A and B are shown apart, each in its own frame.
Chain A
Amino acid sequence: QQQVKQSPQSLIVQKGGISIINCAYENTAFDYFPWYQQFPGKGPALLIAIRPDVSEKKEGRFTISFNKSAKQFSLHIMDSQPGDSATYFCAASLTGTASKLTFGTGTRLQVTL
């Protein structure tokens, strides 16, 4: 059972466009929601993260929108660039010592010229 559902599975966006990836979670106890970027053969790298007491967080071209009542959160990449082409994973975890991350299934983003 996938506790964190992610869509779309793949996404093609033109350079300069907006990339939007959505995630939904089931466990209402989750209170940390990060997004990871992964390039082929590399480990996931933390991109941006949010806690449920905030509805939106922006860092540069990356924005997380969080809807606690709907148990959904999304990543917006503004002015998408070819260098953003990667696989993006949303994740969720509980607060506490050594809390594991539960990942979404990933979105393969391709930004075309």
Chain B
Amino acid sequence: AAGVIQSPRHLIKEKRETATLKCYPIPRHDTVYWYQQGPGQDPQFLISFYEKMQSDKGSIPDRFSAQQFSDYHSELNMSSLELGDSALYFCASSWTGANYGYTFGSGTRLTVV
């Protein structure tokens, strides 16, 4: 079965640089979520999109922005990167009809040096 695809798997950036993370949800899933997971921490909700519209916003810094495109893939853009942005970034998708049961991608490990 198709899963949530995230790219790249690993990314190394310098401070103050910009990073773009991509997420391709499971086909027919209409909702995409982004989570940030620091080392040894639980995933923290950043932002979600339902049918290409922003649905909810969590503790996402103003330096970050995201969007969902017409083909339902989503991108998380991170600017002016800081050392503290180093984390695993997960995308998840779900289908409203099923209401429950996120599927997470394997994540992008961002390292800011």
Contact = CB atoms under 8 A, between A and B. Distances in A.
B31 to A, nearest CB: 5
17 contacts: A32-B100, A34-B102, A41-B109, A43-B4, A43-B104, A45-B104, A89-B42, A89-B43, A95-B99, A97-B31, A97-B96, A98-B48, A98-B49, A100-B58, A101-B33, A103-B43, A105-B42
Interface residues of A, number: 22
B42 A98 contact: no
B43 A98 contact: no
Interface residues of B, number: 30
Interface of A: 32, 34, 36, 41-46, 49, 89, 93, 95, 97-98, 100-106
A100 B56 contact: yes
Interface string B13-48: 000000000000000000101000000111111001
